[in-house]
């Protein structure tokens, strides 16, 4: 478990439990032991099982957890995602926090799978973005992968993305080339991507050395098709901007290499899951 994720789990437990679960303290005998199962109430894709398991073990190291579905596996209503066994108090204290993580992450994985299925049979990748819940990036991007989509950059530190506001500050091709040359010299292996909002910009940026990708922002299907033709495979092309389930198949058919969809993380809803004692 990544230390930052473990810290997040502990903070979530502390937020919910505070100085103690007073309902369990007064209404559930300390000697009772139970088994519990987390059950799907609707269809979806599994993600975050290790996080839910960690919640129960953080609440009580004596809890035993058995995963019934691996991350990435599709499930139907009534399917058991995991089972836990231990003190009844511990299971009930950890219930809500475990479900909060699992419902959210399964929702992201399910959203990702829906978009991935929508671009078939075109050989295009569906990418996520940095539009993630603060503090949840590692978890949500892992859920994106469980759904079959691809992580783009993790943050500002691992991939150069020269966007419209960077260009608004300085769009000189000479200065862009100097900066590209410096980044390749000082940070070899880092990919360089530039955002293009027009076909004229595509042509300009194609003339630069060391550009690995172009982000084609808010372009029409016709513009995307033309961009694919004029670049002729020399750089990777990412389509982005307002792409929905209704439009993504047409975008995929243009021949772009990747389609980024912020909705994978910023608009995924929590799935309906429940915990039942048995």
Prior bond of 121 cis (ω within 30°): yes
Q: Is 153 assigned a catalytic role? A: no
Residue length of the chain: 278
Q: Is 163 assigned a catalytic role? A: yes
Q: Determine which one of 41, 163, 182, 187 is catalytic.
A: 163
For residue 198, the 8-state DSSP code is S
Q: Is 222 assigned a catalytic role? A: no
Dihedral over alpha carbons 19, 93, 147, 66 (to 10 degrees): 130
Q: Determine which one of 37, 68, 96, 191 is catalytic.
A: 96
Specify the 3-state DSSP secondary structure of 255.
Answer: coil
Per-residue H/E/C for 100-163: HHHHHHHHHHHHHHHHHHHCCCCCCEEECCCCCCCCCHHHHHHHHHHCCCECCCCCCCCCEEEC
For residue 32, the 8-state DSSP code is -
Q: Is 10 assigned a catalytic role? A: no
* Residue 222, φ and ψ in degrees, nearest 5: -65, -45
* Residue 22, φ and ψ in degrees, nearest 5: -70, -25
Q: Is 87 assigned a catalytic role? A: no
Q: Determine which one of 21, 128, 217, 238 is catalytic.
A: 217
Q: Determine which one of 21, 53, 95, 195 is catalytic.
A: 195
Task: Outline where DSSP puts E strands in 114-206.
Answer: 125-127, 160-162, 192-196
Catalytic residues: 96, 131, 163, 195, 217
């Amino acid at each position: 478990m990544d230390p930052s994720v473990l810290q997040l789990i502990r903070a979530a437990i502390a937020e919910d439990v505070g100085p103690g679960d007073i309902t369990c303290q007064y209404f559930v005998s300390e000697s009772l032991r139970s088994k519990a199962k987390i059950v799907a109430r609707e269809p979806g894709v599994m993600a975050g099982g290790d996080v839910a398991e960690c919640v129960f073990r953080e609440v009580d190291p004596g809890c035993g957890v058995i995963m019934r579905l691996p991350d990435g596996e599709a499930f139907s209503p009534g399917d058991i995602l995991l089972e836990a066994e231990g003190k009844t108090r511990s299971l009930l204290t950890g219930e809500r926090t475990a479900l909060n993580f699992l419902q959210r992450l399964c929702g992201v994985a399910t959203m990702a799978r829906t978009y991935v299925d929508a671009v078939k049979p075109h050989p295009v990748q569906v990418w996520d973005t940095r539009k993630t819940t603060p503090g949840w990036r590692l978890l949500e991007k892992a859920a994106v992968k469980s759904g079959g989509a691809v992580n783009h950059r993790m943050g500002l530190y691992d991939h150069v993305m020269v966007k419209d506001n960077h260009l608004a500050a300085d769009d000189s091709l000479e200065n862009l080339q100097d900066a590209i040359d410096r980044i390749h010299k000082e940070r070899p292996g880092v990919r360089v991507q530039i955002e293009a909002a027009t076909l004229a910009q595509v042509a300009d940026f194609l003339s630069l050395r060391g550009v690995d990708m172009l982000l084609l922002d808010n372009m029409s299907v016709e513009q995307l098709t033309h961009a694919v033709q004029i670049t002729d495979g020399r750089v990777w092309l990412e389509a982005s901007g307002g792409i929905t389930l209704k439009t993504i198949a047409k975008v995929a058919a243009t021949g772009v290499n990747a389609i980024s969809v912020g909705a994978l993380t910023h608009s995924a809803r929590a799935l309906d899951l429940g915990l039942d004692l048995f």
